[in-house]
Amino acid sequence: GDSVTQKQGQVTLSEDDFLFINCTYSTTTYPTLLWYVQYPGQGPQLLLKVTTANNKGISRGFEATYDKGTTSFHLQKASVQESDSAVYFCALVDPQVVGQLTFGSGTRLQVYA
Amino acid sequence: DTTVKQNPRYKLARVGKPVNLICSQTMNHDTMYWYQKKPNQAPKLLLFYYDKILNREADTFEKFQSSRPNNSFCSLYIGSAGLEYSAMYLCASSRDPDWGYEQYFGPGTRLTVL
């Protein structure tokens, strides 16, 4: 079955640092890849998505590139702010399995001012 | 309004007792989902409704029930809670299953079973 792996459980940065969150996936199809963000006290919300038609997604200063060769979808941001502190989930949608998201375990980002 | 609401936010239950969690959305979404989230684990899909059709995951089929009396409301029912049910339960909705990548989540209900 499909799977998503996020090896970093937590990332701690200072403001203006560069952010890199690792995500790899495993599937037999060409899925849509997504990043969701969950702020404290809220549910996850969609941050960005990338399909096979467009290999890069950009939103709110975050970007992720769909790399079919390495089956990776890492999340990056050039300069983080304290307000970016949240849990980030990588996820995929298998086009053959309607309506289902497969999530990674999440990476908690803590940014200090 | 893209709000999904969940009640209660915190629930304490005794082993062997039933638990009923409620979710509502006002976006007229056709599809509603329930996930279970444990610490350091990925959210796990338990079931979802597309309109009035319930789809349950094979490995949780017997553990969770659900009802959707109308388009806006969906419940998650546990007939007899066990310690392993302690988790955060997230409800979500989407326009329809083909838009399943864009799910709107509620804040979750934290269930503690003692």
Per-residue pLDDT tens digits for A60-96: 999 998 888 899 999 999 999 999 999 999 999 887 7
Q: Mean pLDDT, to the nearest integer, of B85-111?
A: 89
**pLDDT of B100 strictly over 70:** no
A110 CB contacts (<8 Å, ≥6 apart)? Answer: A10, A11, A12, A13, A85
B98/A103 touch (CB, cutoff 8 Å), yes or no: no
| Chain-chain contact of A100 with B103 (C-beta, under 8 angstroms) | no
Chain B residues touching chain A at CB-CB below 8 Å: 4, 31, 33, 40-43, 45, 48, 50, 55, 90, 92, 94, 96-98, 100-108
Q: What is the mean pLDDT of residues B39-44?
A: 94
Amino acid, res. B27: M
Chain A residue with CA closest to B2: the answer is: A45
Tell me if B105 and A45 make a contact (CB, 8 A cut-off): yes
In B, minimum Cα distance to A91 occurs at B101
Q: Is the confidence at residue B80, as pLDDT, over 90?
A: yes
Q: Is the pLDDT of residue B48 over 70?
A: yes
Residue B113 pLDDT class (50, 70, 90 cuts)? very high
Higher per-residue pLDDT: A108 or B100: A108
Q: Is A105 on the interface with B (CB under 8 A)?
A: yes
User: Which residues 72-91 of chain A have a CB within 8 Å of chain B?
Assistant: 89, 91
Average pLDDT taken over every residue of chain A: 92
**Mean pLDDT (whole number) for B52-79:** 92
pLDDT at A32 over 70: yes
CB count in 10 Å sphere of residue B20: 15
For position B2, what pLDDT does the model report? 67
Query: A32: which chain B residues are within 8 Å (Cβ-Cβ)?
Result: 101
B99 pLDDT band, cuts 50/70/90, is low
Average pLDDT value over all residues in chain B? 92
Residue A95's DSSP bridge partners are: none
